[in-house]
Structure 1
Amino acid sequence: MSAKLKYRHEHKFFINYHQFHIIRSRLRSLVDKDSHAGPTGEYHIRSLYFDDVDNKALHEKLGGIHDRVKYRIRVYNVQDHVIHFEKKIKKNDYIAKVKEPLTRSMYDSILAGNYEVLNQPDKPFLMELYLEMKHKLLRPKVIVDYVREPYVSRFGNVRITFDKELRTGLHATDVFDPNLKPVRALDDNLIILEVKYDEYLPGAIRSALQLEGLNRQSASKYVICRKHLKFNTWEDF
């Protein structure tokens, strides 16, 4: 499975709304709106992040470990026709992703603690998840919720996203819960800018972004939301 992985560059920055409007204005003639975005140019993302009994993903991120993985279930616009279990693999500034679709029935089984639904030897990633849940007690930890405004360019296979209104579901673990009321996990004025590309970032786009003047961060939404959970409960890392 690893031989087929495609690694890409990924850079993250915290920006304020003033910077957002300037950067978006500069980019307009250089990139296209993502076709998956709705009439507003945005869509909603909700992810359920998993971690093991030792909180390995959390501690490796906080400890600055360069090579690490995270597991999550992701849905869009709180709809269940597209549900993916994903593994995000990080190696220094490079990322790769492995994912497998889930049915709503499979999702409900996983949430109910019936991990046998993942015991499918013909699907290596699902088997990996099954073994992680069985032997390392990989379990749901926190919901991460935000609105994404995405742009793309075929030159360099660039993807630029502005992630707004980062919220956490605190102790909730059902992404489809109609009564879920996620709370803000990041300052209202902050947006997470993510820049992903293959071998190169075209000069015109780089100039428009002016990345050198931005506040580059290790902006893990998972860690931000777990920290928010800790500071609002008795959870102990």
Structure 2
Amino acid sequence: MNNNLKYRHELKFMINYHQFYLISSRLRNLMSRDKHAGPTGEYHIRSLYFDDMNNKALHEKLGGIRDRVKYRIRIYNVQDHIIHFEKKIKRDDYIAKVKESLTRDMYEAIIAGDYEVLHQPDKPFMMELYNEMNHNLLRPKVIVDYVREPYVCHNGNVRITFDKELRTGLNSTDIFNKDLSSVRALDDNLIILEVKYDEYIPGYIQTALQLQGLTRQSASKYVICRKFLKTNTWEDY
């Protein structure tokens, strides 16, 4: 693994609302709310995922390749004061993230096909994106949209999130469209529980989670949402 990156453990589970209410009620007394969460303890995430001309990210996930990457632009609460271009790196059971900030004008240029805004030789990740766009035809593929309820704990640097109301934009790459046409991508009763940590999960949090009673999943929001694109057929997969 690249020693310059901070790799973390990531566990994913599909739970129903009954399980969510039980687990979240325990965590509220043990963990802090994420500082970015609003009055309801939640915030909205919208990501635009990219893939190359061979749909490499999609096929590697479906093929069970354990070492892989995904690229996405992410915003919060459909606002443009924080825009990140991110690379999520998966190595076995560990994840790491590389990201750079974008301005709204840079985002609009990228969506319009002007990748010169990424040509910044002093920023390696920007140059990586620039090369991916020009040589591997990395392009926007699908919008992934959900509401996140996050909890954090300093001990073990634990972050637990409940991702609800997973939706996908229908054949649109405009993540700032407040009237985005979208559909539910998961059963109404399902929530994605994610547990991220550095070296350990404190025992009292493990007890609250009762992970031994849950079935670990390989839940990729990107893959779940890709199947709703009208331009795809299952033969593409």
Pick the TM interval, shorter chain.
over 0.9
CA distance in 2 between partners of 1:3 and 1:114 (Å) = 33
1:105-157: per-residue Cα shift (whole Å, max 9, x none)? 00000000001110111110000000001000000000000000000000100
Q: Are residue 47 (structure 1) and residue 41 (structure 2) matched?
A: no
CA distance in 1 between partners of 2:116 and 2:36 (Å) = 33
CA distance in 1 between partners of 2:190 and 2:23 (Å) = 14
TM-score by length of structure 2 reads 0.96
**Offset of residue 233 of structure 1:** 4.8
1:48-71: per-residue Cα shift (whole Å, max 9, x none)? 000000000000000000000000
Runs of 4+ with deviation above 4 angstroms: 232-235
1:79-116: per-residue Cα shift (whole Å, max 9, x none)? 00000000000011100000000000000000000011
Gaps of 5+ in 1: none
Partner of 1:152: 152
Partner of 1:18: 18
CA distance in 2 between partners of 1:117 and 1:165 (Å) = 34
**Counterpart mapping for 1:65-144 below 5 A:** 65-144=65-144
**Offset of residue 25 of structure 1:** 1.4
TM-score by length of structure 1 reads 0.96
CA distance in 2 between partners of 1:233 and 1:187 (Å) = 22
User: Percent identity over the alignment?
Assistant: 77
Letter in 2 for 1:128: E
CA distance in 1 between partners of 2:157 and 2:169 (Å) = 33
SS in 1 for 2:20: helix
The 8 Å contact of residues 83 and 103 in structure 2, kept in 1 or not, is answered as yes
The 8 Å contact of residues 78 and 178 in structure 2, kept in 1 or not, is answered as no
**Offset of residue 170 of structure 1:** 2.2
CA distance in 2 between partners of 1:38 and 1:86 (Å) = 23
Partner of 2:8: 8
Letter in 1 for 2:97: K
Number of residue pairs matched by the alignment: 234
